Structure 1
């Protein structure tokens, strides 16, 4: 996934485990907190699992329990970094799809629905090219 180098290692791991959109939900809801990930062996564990599932969905909650169950998961507040990753993905997808012959409007419509953004926001993201680390070095 392009742009993962901008994320803290713990969040990059979450993105790999449950996907970008779901990781963003987790960061928005629990960012800046430590969440005790249950093993689902007690009533309290089931309550915590249900709370987690309400945020990320059953499949992602199962994946988190399988990976982190019985431990504590610190969820960093890194919405800006996740947004940068999302924007890079939007740009990459737009270029790939328009190179295949799809119209710009069709691709933007798809991206707006996929990321739950307005089409105007997608166009704004596309007009603002993401800064890659190599581009920053050339400025020095």
Structure 2
């Protein structure tokens, strides 16, 4: 995922606090739940802190505790953003592999298996993504 597009404001705040990759790890792990952020003053608080640290790492867990400690943090599912990121990964892999000489059908089969999608769904994803500048220039050469 290249930026904050499709992200709710609360997740954009998390991105500012702990970075995009770690915020997305938090979303993938805890998305759709309310997490009580500990102050680390009790055994339960330490357990919750360790749970956060397992997901996002010590530095990010410390930042979350400092910012939200003692409160509750609702972590949205971010379904649209996660799907957009997945679709972009699928497109990038397809373009790279077909440029390296693999057949489109072979690459689509691999993508379907990797993402647990039907091959029809992968083809539909590839059809709906915006064309790259290279694809536009190729189209212009064909038309000329």
With the shorter chain as reference, the TM-score category is 0.5 to 0.7
- Cα separation, 2, equivalents of 1:20 and 1:97: 26
Superposition pairs of residues 55-74 of structure 1, within 5 angstroms? 58-60=54-56, 62=58, 64-72=60-68, 73-74=73-74
User: What are the Cα deviations for residues 40-62 of structure 1, in whole angstroms up to 9, with x where unaligned?
Assistant: 55311233246657xxxx35354
Indicate the larger mover: 111-120 or 78-87.
111-120
| Aligned equivalent of 1:90 | 90
Structure 1: runs of 5 or more not aligned: 133-140
Cα distance change, pair 111–60 in 1 and its aligned pair in 2 (3 A): farther
Give yes or no for contact 2:11–2:23 (8 Å, CA) kept in 1: no
Give yes or no for contact 2:38–2:46 (8 Å, CA) kept in 1: yes
- Cα separation, 1, equivalents of 2:104 and 2:5: 28
Larger RCO of the pair (alpha carbons < 8 Å, separation 6+): 1
| Aligned equivalent of 1:138 | none
| Aligned equivalent of 1:124 | 124
Normalising by the residue count of structure 1, what TM-score does the alignment of the two structures yield? Answer: 0.58
Aligned-pair distance for 1:99?
Answer: 1.4
Q: Highest CA radius of gyration, 1 or 2?
A: 2
Aligned-pair distance for 1:125?
Answer: 1.4
Task: Compute the RMSD of aligned alpha carbons.
Answer: 3.6
Give yes or no for contact 2:97–2:107 (8 Å, CA) kept in 1: yes
User: What are the Cα deviations for residues 37-87 of structure 1, in whole angstroms up to 9, with x where unaligned?
Assistant: 33655311233246657xxxx353546413312433442343123212321
- Cα separation, 1, equivalents of 2:114 and 2:63: 27
